[in-house]
Structure 1
Amino acid sequence: MLRVLIAEYKKSLRLANRMKSDLDKKETPTRQDEEDKKIISSMISDMQYAIEWMKSGRNPDSRRGTDKEGVYLTDPCILDVLPVNDVDKPVDKELSLHEKDLIEDALCTLTDREREVFMMIKVEGLTFEYTADLLGVKKSTIQTHFERALRKIDNRKKESLFLVS
């Protein structure tokens, strides 16, 4: 459900940016407007920081070598769930290294938005409507991204060198 949380933060970030933009457009801002702008700017900064932390899995301000090298990888639980056709079906076995490579190979062909939509719908089990609401786009846009992701993954499965063995 981390993706849902990130999407909700992004939605709130868009709203805060709109509020700040509305305040910036005022020709003669009041003292209260200036104070509100400072508070909203702080909220925007905090939300961006939190989103980056949730996406990367590490503190964005950390300057230590291990953090800079990207030691924190994708949550293995997500990889375990991905190849299952039925989202409600529990995963009973550990994936082999070959299966994990297949998943990574298929996902690398997707754009960031396609991957995000695919994971929210296929892995998290969200509906098209809820995903559209969280990402602030139309349901048809989500359906298009999802269908495109499925097509790319299907094509990759047919063309992948990993399958030739």
Structure 2
Amino acid sequence: MQDLLCEYQKTRKALNRLQRHLKQADDAARVVRLDMAKRQTGKAKAVSNGPARKGDRRLVEEMIGSIDYVIEWLETCRQPGNRRGVERRAGYERERPMDPALMQVMFSSDSTAGSSCPLDKQEADQLEYVLSWLTERERDCFVLTHGECFSLEETAQLLGITKSSVQTYITRAQNKMAQRIASSLVLAG
């Protein structure tokens, strides 16, 4: 990655040199045009037509802007302009990891998980108890995403709802499950 960053920095230096060269060439052309205008009109102050290579200079400026954007991205490892990095997003903080192999064994008769450690009776009863408090839609969304390892988009397509609805159902299910687990630990303890 450092090699790539070095190459972009070299390219930026070359583009900066090209930009300076084009500016000097425009300045020289402007002086020549002013001298010609003075000779033709005889006036001390003549108006020039502007830079001869305006399109070239604009293109080089755009290229420098793009290169600066890439260099900043490579140096910070984040997209320029973002306030927070992806590791600090709230969605990632709320995610509760589950073992998909155990969920697949429990809820799929044609499971492809191939887990060598199926749930025992007590674990199956606990999982069934916690999931029994969910609505049918919450249970479907939760089992498809966490048990069957479908993406939110795939789950939404299967159930005929939007992706944001799937996320809402999963969040509700996780909150209900956390409450049930906490209450069952209080009652058991």
Tell me which interval the TM-score lies in, with the shorter structure as reference length: 0.3 to 0.5
TM-score by length of 1: 0.44
| Bigger RCO (CA 8 Å, 6+ sep) | 1
TM-score by length of 2: 0.39
Q: Which has the larger Rg?
A: 2
